[in-house]
Structure 1
Amino acid sequence: MTEIMVVDDDHDLRESMAEVLGKAGFSVTQASRGEDALELLGKKNIDLILLDLVMPGLGGLELLGRIRDKAPRMPVIMITAFASVENAVAAMRQGASDYITKPFRIDGLLAAVGRVLEEARFESCRTSLDLDTVLSCLSNPLRREILAQVEQEGTLRFMDLCRKLELEDHTKMNFHLKILKEAGFLQQDENKLYLLTSLGTQVLGCVRFLMKKLAD
């Protein structure tokens, strides 16, 4: 489950955001001070941080710099009052992913979170994947269809895949499955069922994000 840390000294606002994010399916960690946030960052697997720009003690901009030192690729969304938008833009120049202004709508908060998480996943793919292998493997439409079917069903047997893709040539299916397995996108369990690897799931997420961006 995606873990989001909310860092804000305003207890009511922090609790409200945690409730909204929790109902949206996220796991939420809360911190009321910048120092606590840094400590939690070292202990938990955080995927995204919502960070108030103005806090007593360790302020948002300084904390952003500390976060960048500890976790350079951590996506951070700044929370700011409308009058402080210029400071939020300055924070983005220092590495923040986005900002939202208070008061904000629930749909605006969730849209910003979803957008930044998608971008973070794509960046993770870009930096961690062998793009030549990915592009070579997914250039074939049948292999893309195989991955999509396995993702949709969770697990599939060889014959079920052939039927779903209306492919009677089993030799051809075996050939493409072999390529997907060698690329690390597919695996088989002890019952010979095909399922996506974590790498395969990551690759499909990146492809969807890229296609969406190209369509926008």
Structure 2
Amino acid sequence: MNKIMIVDDDPELRTTIAEIIEQEGFAVQTAETADQALKLLEKSFFDLVLLDMVMPGTDGVAAIVLITKLSPRTRIVMMTAYASIENAVQALQQGADDYLSKPFKIEALLTTVRKNLQEARFAECAEAVDSDGVFQGLANLLRRRIIILLQQQGNMRFMDLVRALGVEDHTKVNFHLKVLREAGFIEQNEGKTYTLTAAGNKAAACLAYISKSLQTTN
């Protein structure tokens, strides 16, 4: 589940935004100041921070740099009632990923949230695919099918995999399993059962995301 933080000194607006986003199935935490937000980020990762520009103490623009340094993968959407091209440019130059002008409609808020989470997911997948080991693991169709099967089934023995893949050449399956093990995508326990590693689960999620994106594009 994606985690989102709302940072705004207006308690009513903070609560309202939190309720809207929670209804969409996201995990939400709130902070009244940038300093409180930084303390939360030290304890836990957040996929997205909705950050007010004007707050007591550390303002939003100054907080962008601090948040980016503390949690580089966290996307930042600047919120401000003082909408202007200058403010938008300033926020983006400091490292914000997007900009939302107050007052905003619920659909505009949710569209911005979804878009930024999707872009973060795509960036994560693109970064993973740039890795030589990941590319080697995903380049072959049969290896991709193995990863997806293990993601769906949880764990499988060798012959169960062979039957599910519909491949007569057992040596070929064994070869691709070896490649996936060496790339760090799968592991085999003492009972000879294959399972996905953390990297394998990440690869499976990326494959599902890319497949869905291609279907949406087409």
Distance 1:97 1:33 in 2: 20
Distance 1:126 1:106, change over 3 A: same
Which residue is equivalent to 2:26? 26
Distance 2:128 2:110 in 1: 27
Aligned with 2:100: secondary structure?
Answer: strand
Aligned with 1:156: secondary structure?
Answer: strand
CA contact (8 A) 2:83 2:102 kept: no
Question: With structure 1 as the length reference, what TM-score do the two structures score?
Answer: 0.82
CA contact (8 A) 1:5 1:46 kept: yes
Task: Write the mapping of 1:19-168 to structure 2, written as runs, cut at 5 A.
Answer: 19-81=19-81, 83-84=83-84, 86-124=86-124, 131-168=131-168
The one-character-per-residue Cα deviations of 1:51-91 (angstroms, maximum 9, x if unpaired) are: 11222332211111222333344311112337345413321
Among the aligned pairs, what percent are the same residue? 47
In the alignment, structure 1 residue 182 sits paired with structure 2 residue 203: no
Aligned with 2:40: secondary structure?
Answer: helix
Deviation at 1:129, TM superposition (A): 7.1
Distance 1:142 1:11, change over 3 A: same
CA contact (8 A) 1:8 1:52 kept: yes
Aligned with 2:168: secondary structure?
Answer: coil
Aligned with 2:5: secondary structure?
Answer: strand
Distance 1:84 1:152, change over 3 A: farther
Deviation at 1:151, TM superposition (A): 2.0
Unpaired stretches in structure 1, ≥5 consecutive residues:
none
Aligned with 1:99: secondary structure?
Answer: strand
How much is the aligned-residue C-alpha RMSD, in angstroms? 2.9
Moved more, 88-97 or 186-195: 186-195
Distance 2:158 2:23 in 1: 38
Aligned with 2:184: secondary structure?
Answer: coil
The one-character-per-residue Cα deviations of 1:179-209 (angstroms, maximum 9, x if unpaired) are: 1111111123555443322112223444555
Which residue is equivalent to 2:8? 8
CA contact (8 A) 1:122 1:205 kept: no
Unpaired stretches in structure 2, ≥5 consecutive residues:
none
CA contact (8 A) 1:121 1:205 kept: no
Deviation at 1:6, TM superposition (A): 0.9
In the alignment, structure 1 residue 194 sits paired with structure 2 residue 194: yes
Question: With structure 2 as the length reference, what TM-score do the two structures score?
Answer: 0.81
Moved more, 28-37 or 78-87: 78-87
Distance 2:120 2:2 in 1: 12
CA contact (8 A) 1:188 1:194 kept: yes
Paired amino acid for 2:143: R
Moved more, 196-205 or 105-114: 105-114
Distance 1:163 1:2, change over 3 A: same
